Structures are given as C-alpha cells and as structure tokens.
Amino acid sequence: MAFDIDMIKKVYSNMTERVDAARNVVGKPLTLSEKILYSHLWDGTPNKAFTRGKDYVDFAPDRIACQDATAQMALLQFMQAGKDKVAVPTTVHCDHLIQAKSGAATDLKHANDVSSEVFDFLESVSNKYGIGFWKPGAGIIHQVVLENYAFPGGMMIGTDSHTVNAGGLGMVAIGVGGADAVDVMAGMAWELKFPKLIGVKLTGKLSGWTAPKDVILKVADILTVKGGTGAIVEYFGEGATSMSCTGKGTICNMGAEIGATTSTFGYDESMERYLRATDREDVADAANEVKSYLTADAEVYANPEQYFDQVIEINLSELSPLLNGPFTPDLSTPAGSEMTEKANANDWPLTVEWGLIGSCTNSSYEDLSRASSIAQQALDKGLETKAEFGINPGSEKVRYTADRDGILSIFEKLDAKIFTNACGPCIGQWARYSDPKNAPKNSIIHSFNRNFAKRADGNPNTHAFVASPEMVAAIAIAGRLDFNPMTDTLTNKNGEEVKFDEPTGWELPPKGFEVKDNGYLAPMEDGSGVSVVVSEDSERLQLLTPFEPIGNEIKGAKLLIKAHGKCTTDHISMAGPWLRFRGHLDNISNNCLIGAVNAYNQKTNFVKNQLNGEYAGVPDTARAYKAAGVKSIVVGDHNYGEGSSREHAAMEPRHLGVAAVIVKSFARIHETNLKKQGMLGLTFVNEADYDKIQEDDTINFLDLNEFAPGKTLNVEFVHADGSKDVIELNHTYNESQIAWYNEGSALNLIKRENNA
C-alpha cells in the first residue's frame, strides 16, 4: 500500500468542518497555511485563534517519513514505547548511507556490504511495527514522498530538514528531530510554535533559461539564510499555478535554506496532473471535491498584505538564471559578466571541474529532461564537455523512466557517471578525493540545496555553486563559471562558434512513468513474530535500555563541565565522523560535549575529574563519575543547545549519568529533549549566579522532592574551601513533564500507560 486514501478522505472531511470553524474564531479569511494548521489541531475543531510566532500548539500530523541516518535512533527509541505498531503512517527511506564513487551498480553493492547491519535493522524494525520500508537504491526520501505519499492539504513531519519538499504538493511538511517523530509514532501530539506567515506572490511566467530553482535562489537572495525563521512561506499567483508540481517541490525544498519552518503552494492543475501521473487518481478526485479548502480564501491573495506578516513579489518574466554561492546558498550572482567580476574580485576559481545534477531538490523527470536537452545539444553541435558530470536520479521510478526514454544515455554519451538514486555528493557521500582536507582549490556547480564548505566532497577549498539543472548542464559543458548560455558561444571540435538553444523538456513523461521494482517493502499486517536484528557486538547499533529515574535525591553531585559561550548541539554531539554511530548510544556518547569550551581553562574536552584531580576528556570523566555512582551536572551559558533538534544531544549526557543541565537560557527544542529523556533542564533565576559556580563544586539539590510546575528549585553549591552558595533555579516543567522525569523518560511513561 503506497498511500492510504481512506486516511486522506478523513483529513478532507475534517478539513471542511474545521476550516469553517477556524475562520469563525480567527474572524477573517484564511491563508492556506492556516487552513492546514487549524485542521490538524490535536484537540480537533478549533475553538480559539492562535497568535503567530507566540503560541505553542499541539498538532496531529498525518504522516511521518524518516531517512536512514536519523531513523536509527528514532526507531530504537520507538521500540522502547511498548507499542505494536506506529500510530501514524510512517516510512523509512535508505538514501543517506550510499557513497557515490564509480556508478550506481558498484556503489550500491558497496553500500549494501558496509552498511548491511543498519539496513537490515531498519528493514526488520519497519516490518515489525507497520512501517513502510524503501530499500537502498529506491530513491531519495523527499522525491519518493512526493511521488507516493504527499497530498494537498496534508500535514507531515519527517526526520530530515528537507521534508519541506512536500509543500510542492500542497502539504505543510516539516523537518523535526527523532524525538518528535517518536512521540507521534507512539500516538502523542506534536508541538510547534504557531508559525508566522510570509506570502510570496509570483507574477509573470518562467520562460527560456529560467527555472523554478531560480525562484528560490532569488527568494534566498532576498530573505537570506535566516529570513524565513519561524515562518511558513506560502507561494501564490499566476506564476505559481503556471509551474510544474515538481518545480514547486524544488522551491519548497530549498525553503530550508532560508530557515523557513516550511513552504507550500495551493492546490492547482499541476498538482492534479502530477497526482494522476503518479497513479493517484483517487487522491486527485478527492482533492478536487474540496478544492476551495486546499488554497487560501480568495480575499487573501487579493490583498496579501492584510493577511501575511510579510509579502514578497517576484515577477517571473523578469527573472534570470542565478548561481548562488560559494559557501552559502543565499549569495546570488546572475550568470555572465557579473560572475566574472565577482569571481575575480573574490578569487573564486572560474574553471568548473564538476557539474552535479540531482539530490532531493532537483531530480525530477522534468529536471533531467531539461538538462538532457542541453546535453543533447552538446552532442549535436560537436561540443566537448569540459567538466565531469554526475547524475543522481531522485527515485527508481524517475531513473527507470528516464532510462527508458533515452535521457540517461544522453548524459552517458558525455561520459557522465550515473550514481545511485540516493543523496550521494549532496551529503558528502562522494569519494572524490583520497585526502579531501588537502585537496586543491576548485569550483563545482550543482543543482542541490546546500553548498557549505566541505558539504559535497569534504574539501574546504571546493567552491560549490547552486543553480538549476539546465544551467548546471550548460556550465559544466562550457567548463566556466561565468558562461552565460543566453549570450555566449562555445567553440566546437571543428573550431566553429556555436550557441545553445533554450532548454526544453517535459513536465511529466509523455509515455507515463514506469518502474520494474520501485524498492518498496510493505510491512507485515501482523509484525509480532518479526525479530529485530541487532548484533550484540555491533559498533553501529545498540538496543536501548530504559533510563532509570534520576529521582529526587541529587546529593553529592559533581560538576562535569561549566561550558563557556556558545554551546550548540554540534558542540554537545558532533556530526562528521560520528554520524556512523548514530544508532549506538554508548559509542556515540564518546563525543558528548567534546566541542564545549571549559570555562575554567578555555579548552575543549579537558575537564577536571574531581575524584582523582586529573584532567581528562568530558566523556571519560562522566564515565568515571557514573562508575563511582556519582551524579554529574552540566552548567552552560545562553541559548544552550541551539542548532539542530538531534536528540543525541540530550540522550548522551543522560546515558553518561548527567542528572541536570543548568544554564542561563536554553534553545527550546533542546530543553524539551532533555525533559523527554527524564533529565532536569534548569535556568538561573539570577544569571550572575553562573559566575559563582566553581570547578571543584559538589552539588546538592535541596528541595527536589517538592518539584512542581511554577515552583523554583534551590541548589547548594559547596566549594572546595567549604563555603557554599545556594542558587535558585527556574524550570518550565508542567505536570506531565514532571511525570516524564519521575518515570525516567517520556517513553517509559508511554510504555507504562500502554501496559496499564
């Protein structure tokens, strides 16, 4: 079963009732984003209006999608919840752990060899708990979701930041951390701060060399990498409806690069065409019946300034192809002479060494067909390709169809490498160099979304530029960053000057999509007999054991580290080489807080072990305290835990025996993650008390047995000289979060309630 039409019909029947109720309580016409949000309230029919950017609201998403890197810990946690099945339709997609090197066949085999235990685990746990499983090589999560699961008006969460791609099919789809996904899988609500709304009015029409990618590159240029923070970006206007559904997906996908909560488009004929082309006639029919609910009220788009917090207008007829980069996706330069000037001024290499087409952002049939029309011209006009080409099709369905239609063979004639239908170079899974750190300065161009230093190939000297697939093709063939295919000529093998014609392509395959094996494994109806495969001596996977409650006697605890300044989730749980241990809590805990700066010596990963007076790494010191039965405490500065929502940043200290994290202020998601893991996340009533804490402190909680909502806690810090400071601490725990603490974790509570 690829999708559940009954579930979708239920969403639509809720929507008609709830949107009308929302319009009443809000007291004015509604945007599409509000319609979707208000029709997915956990409490059902709306009875109050929420304040954008302020109110925290419980939602009930329709679907969950997880990719292989993040799914490991999410599913290990879900197994703790004591449920037979996921409460909400969920899929797992194996796409991040496949390295691009020689080409699809060899690379996929290699990935299946080196990561088989992870894939086998994900497959078995999916089978057991009613989760749809997409095998390695089936495709990139967001393209597969768009082809199979996304539907207009739906709400979905996914453990990947580009989950937002599904906005191309009219969803509110949001990237979350594993802990949030686990809650929803286990039947709990999902909390989100009610977003602000940015309206983007698209007038005119794309033509010639401009593509949907240029729309989002332009929006990124206008809003910058932070401009969408806390907001849903809603696109509308004639320019929006004239674009393909997958093109809309590209725009929503890269909304992650402006920090937006998500992006979306109203239901239109392009979405209907896409649904029908991807075998979802019944979804299209159901959507047509509630059409007016699947877009904003007419008054909203007529006077957007009155209904959105910010409105941007872009005339697509005036838009020209852009190249964004290097090192940031919001630095736009039009193709041609302006690029020559900027590159010379900034010392960006003008020679382009690779052109990469694909990723979840731009790997649709339309993308490949338009880029191939440029590649075909290179063959027809006798041009030699100057840069190397790599292609990552978005899904097996796209790959099979593009292969059938001769699209891939055009690229192959240009010696392109067709990589696996997977993330590959987009996530640094690209064996480009044997020693990337010392690799030479160079430029590459790709149609992906992110271009931070080292992202694609690990080489800090690679200048990566982001452009549409057709521009990537033209620039890779020309081999120069400042080539403008609209005006410039190239010299062919016969010494003639030739010029590219405008790209052409198909929105959808003229002969329809086709696929032999789409790589999907449906779960068993009754998975109770399925055993989950995790080897005892695995270094990448480890079954979790439930955390013991910390209890209300925290006495004689030791200071593990007082972190100075910025302490993000990357400082707490580094990524990079540690990604490989994402499914093994004990092993990944060896990176716990190793990036945090010790306030007493300004060094990282060098703290005093009070049991022996020696300095050592943070994880080793924490393990020493834990082995001695001594609880430890972490102290931090402002906005502690900002960055990603990764739950490892809370699970690792919990696993290593940290009882409380006391800071000047928290990033909210991390604070919630600490609560979910059954720990104390506390803030100073007086920030200056941070300075009173000393390296040799022994810590006693004085009134934890009175832990209650809204009541501060008092903690005694006994210094080495015997003097004491009693420090008052705030917390934001409500009754149910205190129950998580008392139970040892949120999952322990779910499990107990489940068994009750």
Give the nearest distance from C-beta 430 to ligand F3S in angstroms.
11
Residue 507: CB minimum distance to ligand F3S, A: 22
- How far apart are CB 163 and ligand F3S at their closest, in Å? 9
First-to-last C-alpha distance (Å) of the chain:
32
What lies within 8 Å, CB to CB, of 684 at 6+ separation is: 662, 663, 664, 690, 727, 728, 729, 730
**Does 160 contact ligand F3S by CB under 6 A?**
yes
| 141 scored as a contact of ligand F3S (CB under 6 A) | yes
- Beta 520-521 vs 132-134: how paired, if at all? antiparallel
Q: Which is nearer to ligand F3S, 141 or 633 (CB)?
A: 141
Question: Shortest distance, CB of residue 113 to ligand F3S, whole angstroms?
Answer: 21
Check: CB of residue 322 under 8 Å from CB of residue 333: yes
Question: What span, in angstroms and rounded, lies between the C-alpha atoms of 39 and 27?
Answer: 16
Element (H, E) at 35: helix 32-38
Binding-site member from 70, 99, 359, 645 for ligand F3S (CB under 6 A): 359
Site membership for ligand F3S, residue 8 (CB under 6 A): no
Instruction: Note the residue count of the chain.
Output: 756
Which tokens in the block code for residue 359?
């990723």
> Which is nearest to 244 in space by CA: 217, 278, 220?
278
Nearest to 287 by CA among 175, 154, 415: 154
* Residues 601-640 interacting with ligand F3S (rule: CB under 6 A): none
What span, in angstroms and rounded, lies between the C-alpha atoms of 298 and 288?
Answer: 17
138 scored as a contact of ligand F3S (CB under 6 A): no
450 catalytically annotated: yes
Tally the C-alpha atoms within 13 A of residue 225's C-alpha that lie toward its C-beta: 12
Q: Is 93 in the site for ligand F3S (CB under 6 A)?
A: no
Min dist CB 580 to ligand F3S, Å, is: 16
Residue with smaller CB distance to ligand F3S, 98 or 375: 98
Exposure letters 730-754 (e unless 16+ CB within 10 A, then b): ebebeeebebbbebbbbbbbbbeee
Q: How far is the CB of 456 from ligand F3S (least distance, A)?
A: 10
CA distance 297 to 700: 58
The least distance separating ligand F3S from the CB of residue 457, rounded to whole angstroms, comes to: 14
Annotation marks residue 646 as catalytic: yes
The CA R_g of the chain, rounded to the nearest whole Å, is 26
Catalytic residue among 142, 446, 450, 648: 450
Indicate if 644 belongs to the active site: yes
**Cβ-based nearer residue to ligand F3S, 314 or 427:** 427
Nearer to ligand F3S, 582 or 608 (CB): 582
8 A C-beta contact, residue 244 and residue 270? yes
Binding part of the chain for ligand F3S, among 138-146, 204-212, 375-383, 633-641 by CB under 6 A, reads 138-146
**Residues 658, 578: Cα–Cα separation, whole Å:** 21
- CB of 391: closest distance to ligand F3S in angstroms? 13
Q: What are the backbone angles phi and psi of residue 580, rounded to the nearest 5°?
A: -65, -20
Residues in a beta bridge with 698:
558, 718
Distances, alpha carbon 372 to alpha carbons 91, 217, 416, 503, in Å: 32, 22, 11, 8
**357 touches ligand F3S by CB under 6 A:** no
CA distances from 477 to 91, 113, 599, 746 (A): 38, 35, 53, 55
Please tell me the count of residues contacting ligand F3S according to CB under 6 A: 13
Q: Which is nearer to ligand F3S, 161 or 745 (CB)?
A: 161
Q: Is 737 in the site for ligand F3S (CB under 6 A)?
A: no
Helix (H, G, I), strand (E, B) or coil at 357: strand
Cβ(166)–Cβ(252) below 8 Å: yes
CB of 80 to ligand F3S, least distance (A): 26
The strand pair at 557-564 and 698-701 is best described as antiparallel
Residue of 94, 111, 140, 592 interacting with ligand F3S (CB under 6 A)? 140
> What's the rounded Cα separation, in Å, for the pair 477 and 503?
14
User: What residues does 614 pair with on adjacent strands?
Assistant: 609
CA pseudo-torsion sign 448, 450, 453, 456 = negative
Q: Does 162 bind ligand F3S (CB under 6 A)?
A: yes
730: left (phi over 0), alpha (psi -120 to 50) or beta: beta
Sheet containing strand 262-265, strands side by side: 262-265, 231-236, 196-203, 310-315
Q: How far is the CB of 252 from ligand F3S (least distance, A)?
A: 12
Are 38 and 48 within 8 A, CB to CB? Answer: no
Q: Which of 40, 96, 399, 670 is catalytic?
A: 96
CB 588 within 8 A of CB 581: yes
Q: How far apart are CA 741 and CA 461, in angstroms?
A: 47
- Least distance (Å) between residue 368 CB and ligand F3S: 15
Of the candidates 66, 360, 408, 550, which one interacts with ligand F3S according to CB under 6 A? 360
Which of 33, 359, 632, 644 is catalytic? The answer is 644
Please tell me the distance from the alpha carbon of residue 299 to that of residue 283, in angstroms, as a whole number: 27
Q: Which is nearer to ligand F3S, 152 or 424 (CB)?
A: 424
Asked if 233 and 255 touch (Cβ cutoff 8 Å), the reply is yes
Given the rule CB under 6 A, which of 139-147, 273-281, 336-344, 723-731 is the region that contacts ligand F3S?
A: 139-147
CB of 68 to ligand F3S, least distance (A): 10
Shorter beta-carbon distance to ligand F3S: residue 114 or 579: 579
Q: Which of 62, 95, 180, 268 is catalytic?
A: 95
Using rule CB under 6 A, residue 271 touches ligand F3S: no
- 606 alpha-carbon distance from chain centroid: 32
Rounded to whole angstroms, the Cα distance separating 284 from 150 reads 12
**How is residue 706 annotated by DSSP?**
G
Based on CB atoms, which residue is closest to ligand F3S, 427 or 650? 427
Options 160, 180, 268, 330, the catalytic residue: 160
Stretch that binds ligand F3S, among 53-61, 134-142, 236-244, 399-407 (CB under 6 A): 134-142
If one asks whether residue 111 binds ligand F3S (CB under 6 A), the answer comes out as: no
Specify the residue, 420 or 542, whose C-beta has the smaller distance to ligand F3S: 420
Nearer to ligand F3S, 458 or 681 (CB): 458
Distance CA 435, CA 34 (A): 49
| Closer residue to ligand F3S, CB minimum distance, 530 or 579 | 579
Please, which of residues 366-425 interact with ligand F3S by CB under 6 A? 423
Token reading at 530 = 């399925």
> Which CB atom, from 95 or from 268, has the smaller least distance to ligand F3S?
95
- Closest approach of ligand F3S to the CB of residue 359, in Å: 4
Q: Which of these, 534, 143, 665, lies nearest to 364 by C-alpha position? A: 143
Q: Candidates 23-31, 140-148, 378-386, 522-530: pick the segment binding ligand F3S (CB under 6 A).
A: 140-148
The single residue of 646, 654, 670, 731 carrying the catalytic annotation is 646
Please confirm, yes or no, whether 160 is among the known catalytic residues.
Answer: yes
Residue placing its CB nearer to ligand F3S in the complex, 256 or 410: 256
Give me 639's structure tokens. Answer: 């906005």
Write the binding mask 423 to 452 for ligand F3S: x where contact by CB under 6 A, - elsewhere. x--xx---------------------x---
**Binding residues vs ligand F3S (CB under 6 A):** 95-96, 140-142, 160, 162, 359-360, 423, 426-427, 449
Catalytic residues: 95-96, 160, 450, 644, 646
